[in-house]
């Protein structure tokens, strides 16, 4: 029977596998090939130049700076997002007072979940327009207006949020966290709801504090979800192309003075502005290898024995 089912199963797999090879595997292979050439993108001529493109990108100060900026977001964005999402999920599920019905979330937790998840339904374009108003560099910007109202900023010297080399990455980090924390709050909330309430109630009856229940019960039981979230957030931190392009100054983003350059922005500008597609392919291959290594390391570091309940 098993041998009879093989042709039937293969019949369903042939078309998807062929499409996957054509539209996914083939572009990856072509990109690797072009990364060893001086292809300009608009011609069929590709001269093989070996690893010269890879030597050039890692000796380019702008590209190396972009790697450091991605590393900055890679370290802080997942940590801040996961910590905030865990705190909010814990408060919305088991952070309220206990009563005869057992442990509950804070009052109005259903409304809070909708409000906190709302940024997930917004497109990147809407987020860009929204935070262009929030971080305006005059008195009409939301943040500057608030700081002026409490006397922390002079109306004649507003904060230059995205025009300041020292603030621009922190502003991008804040936008990324704001736009992503709601999704992971819902993800962790769903995982917490699968934990029997009796475990929390027994711990509280034994005298455990809410902090102790979080670190001794909630966190270990949610570790697999946290591990997966960490990988996804790592990939998001390696991208950020649309936010940087829409929010930061200079043509194609990356300003001021390349202070917010990310690998994706340097890659795009190298290919479509400078016409150096071979060099851009080398950047893409380097980014892909870095992403795979990141996922392997993160899954390896965060791997723990599964806890059953």
The domain total for the chain is 1
Count Cα atoms within 13 angstroms, Cβ side, for 180.
Answer: 23
pLDDT of 100: 47
Cα 195 to Cα 183: distance, rounded to the nearest angstrom: 19
Q: What was the pLDDT predicted at 184?
A: 93
The domain in which residue 73 lies consists of: 60-301
Q: Is 202 domain-assigned? A: yes
Identify the pLDDT of residue 218: 82
Q: Which of 253, 105, 58 is nearest to 175 (CA)?
A: 253
Q: Check residue 252 and give its pLDDT.
A: 63
pLDDT of residue 101: 47
Report if residue 31 sits inside a domain: no
Read off the CATH number of the domain in which 74 is found.
1.10.3720.10
Asked if the structure places residue 48 within a domain, the reply is: no
Residue 225 lies in a domain: yes
- 142 assigned to some structural domain: yes
Return d(Cα 244, Cα 263) in angstroms, integer: 11
Inside any domain, residue 45:
no
pLDDT beneath 70, residues of the chain: 1-4, 95-105, 251-252, 302-309
- Domain assignment of residue 29, yes or no: no
pLDDT at 85: 93
Task: Assess if residue 243 is contained within a domain.
Answer: yes
pLDDT of residue 31: 92
Judged by phi (left if over 0) then psi (alpha if -120 to 50, else beta), residue 159 lies in: beta
């Amino acid at each position: 029977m098993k041998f009879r089912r093989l042709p039937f199963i293969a019949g369903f797999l042939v078309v998807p596998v062929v499409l996957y090879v054509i539209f996914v595997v083939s572009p990856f292979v072509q990109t690797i090939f072009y990364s060893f050439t001086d292809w300009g993108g608009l011609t069929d001529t590709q001269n093989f130049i070996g690893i010269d493109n890879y030597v050039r990108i890692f000796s380019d100060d702008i590209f190396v700076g972009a790697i450091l900026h991605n590393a900055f977001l890679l370290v802080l964005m997942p940590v801040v997002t996961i910590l905030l999402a865990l705190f909010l999920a814990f408060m919305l599920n088991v952070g309220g007072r206990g009563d005869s019905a057992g442990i509950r979330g804070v009052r109005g937790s259903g409304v809070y979940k909708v409000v906190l998840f709302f940024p997930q339904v917004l497109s990147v374009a809407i987020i860009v327009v929204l935070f262009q108003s929030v971080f305006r560099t005059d008195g009409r910007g939301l943040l500057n207006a608030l700081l002026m109202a409490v006397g922390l900023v002079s109306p004649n010297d507003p904060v230059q949020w995205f025009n300041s080399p020292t603030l621009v990455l922190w502003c991008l980090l804040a936008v990324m966290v704001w736009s992503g924390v709601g999704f992971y709050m819902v993800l962790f909330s769903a995982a917490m709801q699968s934990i029997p309430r009796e475990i929390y109630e027994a711990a509280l009856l034994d005298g455990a504090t809410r902090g102790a229940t979080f670190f001794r019960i909630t966190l270990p039981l949610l570790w697999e979800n946290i591990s997966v979230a960490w990988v996804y957030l790592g990939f998001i931190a390696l991208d950020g192309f649309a936010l940087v392009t829409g929010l930061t100054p200079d043509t194609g983003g990356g300003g001021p003075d390349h202070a917010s350059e990310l690998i994706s922005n340097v890659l795009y500008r190298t290919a479509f502005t400078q016409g150096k597609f071979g060099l851009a392919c080398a950047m893409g291959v380097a980014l892909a290898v870095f992403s795979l290594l990141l996922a392997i390391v993160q899954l390896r570091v965060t791997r723990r024995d599964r806890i059953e309940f």
